[in-house]
Amino acid sequence: MTVDYATRPVEPLAAIAPALPEPERGETVFDIRDLTARYGSNTAIRGVSMEIYRNLVTAVIGPSGCGKSTFIRCLNRMNDLIPGFAAEGEVLYHEVDLLGGNVDPVAVRRRIGMVFQRPNPFPKSIYDNIAFGLRVLGLKDSLDDRVEHALKRAALWDEVKHRLKASALSLSGGQQQRLCIARAIAVEPDVVLLDEPASSLDPIATSSIEDLMHELKRDYSFVIVTHNMQQAARVADMTAFFSLSQADENGHRSGILVEYDATQKMFTAPSDKRTEDYVTGRFG
């Protein structure tokens, strides 16, 4: 489908944000302290400290190249796969430092799932996409029920229930991404990280994914990276604004956390000038 962006009415951010109630900051899931992440000699993010709360949607926004993806990939140790990556500081997850030497990244990822920028279903059947993780992680009892439950929660069941044996690659992009969400929640994680999950989807698929997050946050905690401020304003309870620091003496710039607060406040009354410039579209 095509959308005429030129004539589509743009909702003013301030108009959507106040509709959200002030989020209740309950239990802390992540307590991030002075996190610095490097690729070789290149510092991607520097000195990030923030707390992420249970059963909220936390959005990470900011211009491209400011380390948003690097940041959330630190939360489930996905950056370990990249040669030359190193992180300093602490990422306390329920009081355990995920960066600690004796922490097994595989065990971390069982509790902290992830959905990626581009839908990446396995080249297997729809059913096996969900069942694979369940089988490997030993959740084999009543497998069919678990698969059905996960697909229902991802609002995909009605569209695929008659063709569970069909290849997942035959689904549309939006369906594939919902399948990836179903796959991530099927193994009953504690947190789901989403790295720009809607960036390759059309507006209708995007809004179905946003609805899902509203629905599912009762049971999970979400951290979502997005470059779409409207999306952050629509789905997030809390919003963190990342930006690039001033160039150091060598001319290097790195990603920093500028401001972190309730989404409503971030979009209507930010306390930092840089946040205000960004959310009002004067920068970025």
Residues near other proteins (CB under 8 A) are 76, 78, 81, 83, 106-111, 113-114, 116, 118, 120-123, 132-133, 136-137, 169, 180, 183-184, 187
CA atoms of 223 and 238, how far apart (whole Å): 9
Helix (H, G, I), strand (E, B) or coil at 188: coil
Min CB(160)–other proteins separation in Å:
18
Rounded Cα gap, residues 141 and 145, in angstroms: 9
Pick between residue 216 and residue 262 the one whose CB is nearest to other proteins. Answer: 216
* Count of C-beta atoms within a 10 Å radius of residue 111: 14
Phi/psi class of residue 35: alpha, beta or left (left: φ > 0; alpha: ψ in -120 to 50)? beta
Query: What is the rounded distance in angstroms from the CA atom of residue 205 to the CA atom of residue 25?
Result: 29
C-beta of 39 vs 116, nearer to other proteins = 116
Nearest Cα residue to 93 out of 74, 80, 79: 74
Nearest approach in angstroms of CB 190 to other proteins is: 11
Nearer to other proteins (CB atom), residue 51 or residue 188: 188
Nearer to other proteins, 14 or 143 (CB): 143
| Residue from 123, 229, 136 nearest 179 by CA | 123
C-beta of 213: minimal distance to other proteins in Å? 17
Q: Is-contact 154 179, C-beta < 8 A?
A: yes
Question: CB-wise, 30 or 260, nearer to other proteins?
Answer: 30
Between 59 and 191, name the residue whose CB sits nearer to other proteins: 191
Smallest distance from the beta carbon of 234 to other proteins, in angstroms? 25
Of 21, 102, 29, 113, nearest to 73 (Cα)?
113
CA atoms within 13 A on the CB side of 155: 15
* Token pair of 277 as six digits: 């410039």
DSSP-derived 3-state class of residue 116: coil
Query: Is the Cβ of residue 116 or residue 157 nearer to other proteins in the bound state?
Result: 116
Give the shortest CB-247-to-other proteins separation in angstroms. Answer: 31
CB of 98 to other proteins, least distance (A): 13
Task: Please give the Cα distance from 185 to 204 (Å, whole number).
Answer: 22
* Smallest separation (angstroms) from other proteins to the CB of 101: 18
